[in-house]
Amino acid sequence: MEYTTQMDAARKGIITPLMERVAQKENVDTEKLRGLLAEGKVVICANKNHRCLDPEGVGSMLRTKINVNLGVSRDCKDYDIEMQKVMSAVDMGAEAIMDLSSHGDTQPFRQKLVRECPVMIGTVPVYDSVIHYQRDLSTLTAKDFIDVVRLHAEDGVDFVTLHCGITRKTIEQIRKHKREMNIVSRGGSLVFAWMSMTGEENPFYEYYDEILDICEQYDVTISLGDACRPGCLADATDVCQIEELVRLGELTKRAWEHNVQVMVEGPGHMPMNQIAANMEIQKTICMGAPFYVLGPLVTDIAPGYDHITAAIGGAIAAANGAAFLCYVTPAEHLALPNVEDVKQGIIASKIAAHAADIAKGIPGARDIDDKMAKARRNLDWDAQFACSIDAKTAKSIRDSRSPEDDHSDTCSMCGKFCAVRSMNKALAGEYIDIL
């Protein structure tokens, strides 16, 4: 083969079939896309072993993508049901599935995903380490962790979240700085816990070069995890978060030297007024590597509604340069999401991503909105449903409460008071009956 990763190919001036497909889907020039890949500003997460993949590009100048977390757990260990959830998430528009399985024999499900699921697959190998070896955390060795990264790469995972950015220094910093929420990243806390118990350095930091070799071999994109992402507004943009970001910038550079593709993960909980600044800082410190944001949640007080707090923060983040949004469900902070939570989370994230794409002027992003406006002006309900992000729900709400009398071109919100009806009649010179 003439190249290792998509980044390597791009740097060698090679247009790969994956680049052609992404350029076509995004309606951008192939050569321009190649240039962005070479610079690291766009990634195509595509493990060489993920053969059924329909690839997507991730980068701030492309459509904003969304990720859905799924996976078998102690509470939900039926592989078939989980696979149905995955395919339904793909149907609803998820561009990535992170398999966060944390129970039983995780490999068969991961391999099934890679065989059958056409969207990019991500994992967090440190979760799987404890499960894979069925040994408690403190008994694992650095080599054990790296071997699980290799296993996931061989299995065909397209991107892995690795919490490489915390070091032994972070332990002291967290103790000294007295954050309100310390570390709320699940993977980050496992690394921290292992380091605390063993006294050793973070294996994902210490053996980063070995990891880069693995990722280069299979073309696995590294998603640099933000262990110190703020877990509450009070911790946002503090020294722990920013120091880790600086480390992630250094690790981005080292990965690029190995032609390994990189995304950088970001906050977290954050007041609205800090989001744009965070996107700018990430762009400079991490040299434009695609930013993958978790939220940001713009208030801490809305458990049960964090898909909304995340949609507000995610829309602002994406409009200011984030490329990839991790969905948040209404069950966040409370429980394992059920099927309905997953749906609500996906739709809220899609709304945020789409609103941001319009705001940042992604070509064609507003076309579907303009189509909806025409359908609304014409009171053409079937056309409205066809433009809707969730046609079934929209139709069921309208049908559940039919318009009064026989004015079936309006809805029960306004009936004959409908502004669209009145204006259409007025502009056509017709008599407008309201009573």
Which residues inside 194-233 make contact with its own copies, applying CB under 8 A? Answer: 196-197, 231-233
- 47-106 residues in contact with its own copies (CB under 8 A) are 73-75, 102
| Backbone φ and ψ of 429, nearest 5° | 70, 20
Q: Provide the minimum distance between the beta carbon of 37 and its own copies in the complex, in angstroms, as a whole number.
A: 27
Q: In the set 115, 118, 401, 408, which binds its own copies (CB under 8 A)?
A: 401
CA distance 108 to 91: 23
CA distance 297 to 329: 12
398 lines the binding site for its own copies (CB under 8 A): yes
Q: Provide the minimum distance between the beta carbon of 246 and its own copies in the complex, in angstroms, as a whole number.
A: 22
1 lines the binding site for its own copies (CB under 8 A): no
Cβ nearer to its own copies, comparing 16 with 67: 67
Q: Are 295 and 284 in contact (CB under 8 A)?
A: no
Q: Provide the minimum distance between the beta carbon of 42 and its own copies in the complex, in angstroms, as a whole number.
A: 22
Q: Provide the minimum distance between the beta carbon of 178 and its own copies in the complex, in angstroms, as a whole number.
A: 10
Q: Which two tokens stand for residue 70?
A: 């799924």
CA distance 277 to 328: 22
Q: How many CA atoms lie within 13 A of 68 on its CB side?
A: 31
Q: Provide the minimum distance between the beta carbon of 135 and its own copies in the complex, in angstroms, as a whole number.
A: 7
Q: Provide the minimum distance between the beta carbon of 352 and its own copies in the complex, in angstroms, as a whole number.
A: 7
Q: Are 205 and 165 in contact (CB under 8 A)?
A: yes
Q: In the set 235, 243, 244, 265, which binds its own copies (CB under 8 A)?
A: 235
Q: In the set 137, 142, 242, 285, which binds its own copies (CB under 8 A)?
A: 137
Q: Are 313 and 298 in contact (CB under 8 A)?
A: yes
364 lines the binding site for its own copies (CB under 8 A): no
- 293-352 residues in contact with its own copies (CB under 8 A) are 298-305, 307-309, 311-312, 315-316, 319, 330-338, 347-348, 351-352
The residue count of the chain comes to: 435
- 141-170 residues in contact with its own copies (CB under 8 A) are none
Beta bridge partners of 39: none
Q: In the set 188, 225, 249, 321, which binds its own copies (CB under 8 A)?
A: 188
CA distance 193 to 215: 25
Q: Which amino acid is at 30?
A: T
- 256-285 residues in contact with its own copies (CB under 8 A) are 271-273
Cβ nearer to its own copies, comparing 114 with 372: 372
426 lines the binding site for its own copies (CB under 8 A): yes
393 lines the binding site for its own copies (CB under 8 A): yes
CA distance 225 to 160: 9
Cβ nearer to its own copies, comparing 282 with 344: 344
238 lines the binding site for its own copies (CB under 8 A): no
Q: Which amino acid is at 23?
A: A
Cβ nearer to its own copies, comparing 91 with 136: 136
| Beta-sheet pairing, 43-44 with 65-70 | unpaired
CA angle 113, 132, 75 (to 5 degrees): 70
CA distance 306 to 261: 31
Which of 31, 14, 96 is CA-nearest to residue 63?
Answer: 96
Cβ nearer to its own copies, comparing 253 with 371: 371
Q: Provide the minimum distance between the beta carbon of 192 and its own copies in the complex, in angstroms, as a whole number.
A: 6
